[in-house]
Chain A
Amino acid sequence: GQNIDQPTEMTATEGAIVQINCTYQTSGFNGLFWYQQHAGEAPTFLSYNVLDGLEEKGRFSSFLSRSKGYSYLLLKELQMKDSASYLCAVMDSNYQLIWGAGTKLIIKP
Chain B
Amino acid sequence: SQTIHQWPATLVQPVGSPLSLECTVEGTSNPNLYWYRQAAGRGLQLLFYSVGIGQISSEVPQNLSASRPQDRQFILSSKKLLLSDSGFYLCAWKGGSGETGELFFGEGSRLTVL
Contacts and interface: CB of A to CB of B under 8 A. Distances in A.
A54 to B, nearest CB: 19
Interface stretch (B13-21, B71-79, B102-110): B102-110
B46 interface: yes
B108 A95 contact: no
Contacts of A30: 99-100
Contacts, number: 48
Interface residues of B, number: 17
B100 A42 contact: no
Interface residues of A, number: 24
A11 interface: no
A42 B103 CA distance: 11
A87 B105 contact: no
B100 A97 contact: no
Nearest to A99: B43
B102 A102 contact: no
27 contacts: A4-B43, A8-B41, A30-B99, A33-B103, A40-B110, A42-B90, A42-B108, A43-B44, A43-B90, A45-B102, A45-B103, A45-B104, A50-B100, A87-B43, A87-B44, A89-B43, A91-B99, A91-B100, A95-B100, A96-B46, A97-B103, A98-B43, A99-B43, A100-B43, A101-B41, A101-B42, A101-B43
